[in-house]
Amino acid sequence: MDLQRTGRIFGWLFIGTFLTSIPARLLFIDGAGASWTDMRLVPGDASTASLKWGALLEFGLIVTQLGTAVVLYPIARRYSHTIALGYVSARTMESVFAAIGLISMLSLVSVISAMDGASGGEAVALQVQGDGLAHTYEWAFEWGPGLVAGIGNGLLLGYLMYTSGLVPRRLALLGLVGGSVLIVSAMLILAGVYKNGEGPSGVLTLPEAAWELSLGIYCAAKGFRYSSAAVTQAHDREPLPAA
């Protein structure tokens, strides 16, 4: 297996998570007629088209997330089988939360359609149902990209990249810092200290976002490094499988 080629594939998949996740989030907020800090259904401002496009992009996110884990695992397990499995598990859990959010927002399409012509108690019930689906998406978002990503993409992937030397160690340190900060922010959000999207959350998310974007760009451009001592040791212990 060519380390540089595999690294480039990994990098482009990581970039793909950015190209799908951010637009999907914006489309879901727009589709519900909500705001970044108050995810609920506002029927007059809702857009089923935005929700459907958001769902397609969210599915693309799931594919690219799992793709990063699948591509990295054969190489990562030669440095730490436990960390490699942990990363695959974290990516899988993150994708599960994304799928929960995706189905919730698609179900919101049906609620919005049913609200046309509804009145009285039926309209109230549909509004409650719509708010519940929007809140389910928001909870899934806070647990997936908010908490699990900090563990998987931040701590586990940062540690793996630091110890293996597949990317520069100064870059990998950003993952360890970013993951730690993101986990703290997620815990504060879940504890109700502040809402997702408010000032502190945006600032505390930046190190993790910078790490993931930098990692994707670096790997897409250069691939994984051959020159690290860890790579040499991995070749000595067990040759990488043929492509």
Averaged over 135-141, what is the pLDDT? 95
Position 231 pLDDT exceeds 90: no
| pLDDT value of position 144 | 94
Q: What is the DSSP string of 57-84?
A: HHHHHHHHHHHHHHHHHHHHTTT-HHHH
The residue assigned the tokens 């990562």 is 76
pLDDT in tens, 144-162: 999 999 999 999 999 999 9
pLDDT for the residue 120:
84
- What pLDDT score does 3 carry? 86
- Dihedral sign, Cα of residue 30, residue 34, residue 35, residue 37: negative
Residue 32 has pLDDT above 60, yes or no: yes
Q: How much is the average pLDDT of 25-31?
A: 96
pLDDT, tens digit, 9 for 90 and up, residues 53-96: 999 999 999 999 999 999 999 999 999 999 999 999 999 999 99
| Secondary structure (3-state) at 105 | helix
Q: Provide the pLDDT for residue 87.
A: 97
Token pair, residue 81, equals 């089988």
pLDDT band at 227 (very low <50, low <70, confident <90, very high): low
Q: Is the pLDDT of residue 230 over 60?
A: no
- Distance (Å, rounded) from C-alpha 86 to C-alpha 143? 17
The pLDDT score that the predictor gives to residue 38 is 87
For residues 119 and 18, give the distance between their C-alpha atoms in angstroms, rounded to a whole number: 41
Residue 240 has pLDDT above 80, yes or no: no
Residue 75, pLDDT score: 93
Q: Encode 216-242: b = buried (16+ Cβ within 10 Å), e = exposed.
A: bebbbeebbbeebeebeebeeeeeeee
- Per-residue pLDDT band for 42 (boundaries 50, 70, 90) equals very high
Non-local CB neighbours of 66 within 8 Å, separated by 6+ positions: 91, 92, 95
Instruction: Report CA-CA distances (Å) from 99 to 13, 21, 57, 71, 137.
Output: 18, 12, 11, 21, 9
Q: Which of 234, 188, 158 is nearest to 1 (CA)?
A: 234
Task: Provide, rounded to the nearest whole percent, the portion of the chain with pLDDT above 90.
Answer: 76
- Taking residues 167-196, report their average pLDDT: 92
> What is the structure's pLDDT at 200?
85
User: How does the average pLDDT of the chain come out, rounded?
Assistant: 90
Residue 15: its pLDDT value, please?
97
| Confidence class for position 236, pLDDT limits 50, 70, 90 | very low
Residue 104 has pLDDT above 90, yes or no: yes
Angstrom distances, CA of residue 45 to CA of 38, 56, 103, 135? 14, 21, 20, 17
